[in-house]
Amino acid sequence: MRRAVAILLLIIVALGISISLEKIPFGTLKTKVGKYYINEGREETGAVNIVTAVVVNYRGFDTLGEVTVLFIAAIGLGAVLRAGVGEGTKKTESASLVLYTGCRLLFPLILVFGTYIFIHGHLTPGGGFQGGAIIASGFLLIYLGCRERRISRTASNLAESLGGMVFVLIGLLGLVFGSYFLLNFLPKGTANTLFSAGIIPIIYVAIGFKVGSELASIIDNLIEESQ
Amino acid sequence: MIVVVSFLVLLMLVAAVAASVFRDLISAVIAAALVSLIASILFYLLQAPDVAMAEAAIGAALTAAIFIIAIRRTKRYEE
Amino acid sequence: MSFLNSYIYYIGAFGLILIGLYIILVKHNLIKVIIGLGVLDTGVNLFLISVGYVNKGTAPIFSKPGIGSEHMVDAVPQALVLTAIVIGVAVLALALSLAIRLYQHYGTLNLRKVREQRW
């Protein structure tokens, strides 16, 4: 009965979607604001990657909202899982020598790769979110491979808080220097160099630290079993 | 070119149906990670390299990892 | 054949949305419902990126000084989808933590049995 109603609902939704697909032709330019950002983006912001310029400079307030949502999810997960009663420690065996040494060798290389991606966010494809996810994958390797070395909890909390505070402080400095929140007040520099595009590299470094330590703390709260 | 794209889309839809049908939850999670991986390849073919990188790092790796950790703390088989 | 050429990405994205909706509506296990939520999320992101595609366009990055700005793909949907992917993984993590607490409290993850026991 429930399955028949669900399939009927899905057929109605599919019919409605296929009727409205005629109005969306595939492969034509549909908005004017996209054309404006591509034409004027390089002179106004100094960044070469237009997607980074849109995420940090033209739509910077939405990125602040997204960082807040990620923060609330991490806090909520920590609060829900801390109040529960654990099942007691399961007896785990320590990892073999090859796995342990391999994890310890790979971990700094993964950190360097993630840092490279979020520093060059305004020049090549990449940015804060991608680099932060790669750093969190490095921490996942440590939690799975060698459990005896723990990442200290105060250091990850400190990195997360500092990243968020730097973002909001730079926005408030925009209010001090010019007219609006998140104004691009540093000099633009020459394009295609590392120190260019105003405040965009600084914000992406802060976002990279924050997202990386937040995802690592989410995995830490999920793995931690007892007490 | 169109043959490659339609083969990838067909594989993605088959993997999504498999994620719905499997009773072992870990197999269903791996099918969902395969859907994310093929979506990341399609993002690259649609000329969006930033989004492809984000989907490959977050959707295919971290989502599967937190699902498997959560399944390990609850039941493994759907009843 | 030309119909397939121009609409293959839309078919893939809407297929994923319909399969994700079916999993959420019909299945009983809570973790399977959360897997369906993830599949639905991936389908919506694929649809948004395929709307912003321009024929014979290229990625919106001025990597060399001589590249012109005509024939570039729309940059605004890519920025929105970047945000949406990260928010999707945050929602999945919070939903899984609630599922773990539900299992510790009721002893089962079957939604029909949980609905029968009130307190």
ipTM value for the complex: 0.94
Q: In this predicted structure, what is the pLDDT of residue B15?
A: 96
Model confidence band, residue A40 (pLDDT cutoffs 50, 70, 90): confident
> Would the CB atoms of A80 and C97 count as touching at under 8 Å?
yes
pLDDT in tens, C25-73: 999 999 999 999 999 999 999 999 999 898 888 888 887 776 777 788 8
Which of A51, A124, A130 is the best substitution to test chain B (most B C-beta atoms within 10 A)? A130
Q: In this predicted structure, what is the pLDDT of residue A227?
A: 34
pLDDT in tens, A58-69: 888 999 999 999
Give the tokens for residue B18. 């498999």
Query: How far apart (Å, rounded) are the C-alpha atoms in residues A134 and B58?
Result: 8
Which of A11, A38, A200 is the best substitution to test chain C (most C C-beta atoms within 10 A)? A38
Query: How far apart (Å, rounded) are the C-alpha atoms in residues A118 and A125?
Result: 10
Q: Is residue A34's pLDDT more than 90? A: no
C14 CB within 8 Å of a chain B CB:
no
Beta strands in chain A (DSSP E): none
Q: In this predicted structure, what is the pLDDT of residue A188?
A: 74
Q: In this predicted structure, what is the pLDDT of residue A133?
A: 94
Top pLDDT among A77 and A24 is at: A77
Three-state DSSP class for residue B24: strand
Q: In this predicted structure, what is the pLDDT of residue A91?
A: 60
Query: How far apart (Å, rounded) are the C-alpha atoms in residues A211 and A129?
Result: 7
Do residues A58 and A37 lie in contact, with contact meaning Cβ atoms separated by under 8 Å?
yes
Average pLDDT in the A207-225 region? Answer: 88
Average pLDDT in the A148-168 region? Answer: 85
Which residue pairs from A34-42 have beta carbons closer than 8 angstroms and sit at least 24 positions apart in sequence?
A34/C52, A34/C74, A34/C75, A34/C76, A37/C75, A37/C76, A38/C60, A38/C69, A38/C72, A38/C75, A39/C69, A41/C75, A42/A191, A42/C62
- Tell me the chain C residues in contact with residue B42 when contact means C-beta distances shorter than 8 Å: 9, 12, 46
pLDDT in tens, A173-206: 888 887 777 777 777 777 777 777 788 888 999 9
A136 CB within 8 Å of a chain B CB:
yes
Query: How far apart (Å, rounded) are the C-alpha atoms in residues C90 and B59?
Result: 11
B61 lies in which domain range?
2-73
Q: In this predicted structure, what is the pLDDT of residue A88?
A: 54
pLDDT in tens, B15-70: 999 999 999 999 999 999 999 999 999 999 999 999 999 999 999 999 999 999 99
Sign of CA dihedral C18, A34, A210, B51: positive
Query: How far apart (Å, rounded) are the C-alpha atoms in residues A209 and A166?
Result: 11
Residue among A223, A226, A216, A227 nearest A70 (CA):
A216
Model confidence band, residue A87 (pLDDT cutoffs 50, 70, 90): low
A156 CB within 8 Å of a chain B CB:
no
The beta-carbon neighbor of A3 closest among C18, C26, C101 is C26
Average pLDDT in the A89-115 region? Answer: 84
Residue among A38, A93, A158, B62 nearest C52 (CA):
A38
Q: Is residue C112's pLDDT more than 60? A: yes
Residue ranges per structural domain of chain C: 2-55+72-116
**What distances in angstroms separate CA C81 from CA A117, B55, C43, C103, one per listed residue?**
19, 10, 11, 33
CATH architecture classification, C2-55+72-116: Orthogonal Bundle (1.10)
Q: In this predicted structure, what is the pLDDT of residue A226?
A: 44
> Would the CB atoms of A191 and C62 count as touching at under 8 Å?
yes
Q: Which partners does chain C have (≥3 C-beta pairs < 8 Å)?
A: A, B
The beta-carbon neighbor of B53 closest among A126, A218, A222 is A126
C85 CB within 8 Å of a chain B CB:
yes
For residue A141, what is the nearest residue in chain B, using CA coordinates?
A: B65
**Total of domains in chain A:** 1
- Give burial (CB, 10 Å; 0-12/13-18/19+) of A4: exposed
CA dihedral A98, A101, A104, A107 (to 10 degrees): -40
The beta-carbon neighbor of A125 closest among B50, B70, B73 is B50
**Total of domains in chain B:** 1
Residue among A114, A112, A127 nearest A47 (CA):
A127
Beta strands in A15-77 (DSSP E): none
A49 lies in which domain range?
29-82+93-223
- Tell me the chain B residues in contact with residue A126 when contact means C-beta distances shorter than 8 Å: 50, 53
Which 8-state DSSP code applies to residue B61?
I
The beta-carbon neighbor of C100 closest among B20, B32, B73 is B73
Give the tokens for residue C48. 């948004």
Token look-up 């260019």 returns A196
The distance of C4 to chain A (nearest Cα, Å) reads: 11
- Tell me the chain A residues in contact with residue B53 when contact means C-beta distances shorter than 8 Å: 117, 125-126, 130
- Cα-flanking dihedrals φ and ψ of residue B76, to 5°? -95, -35
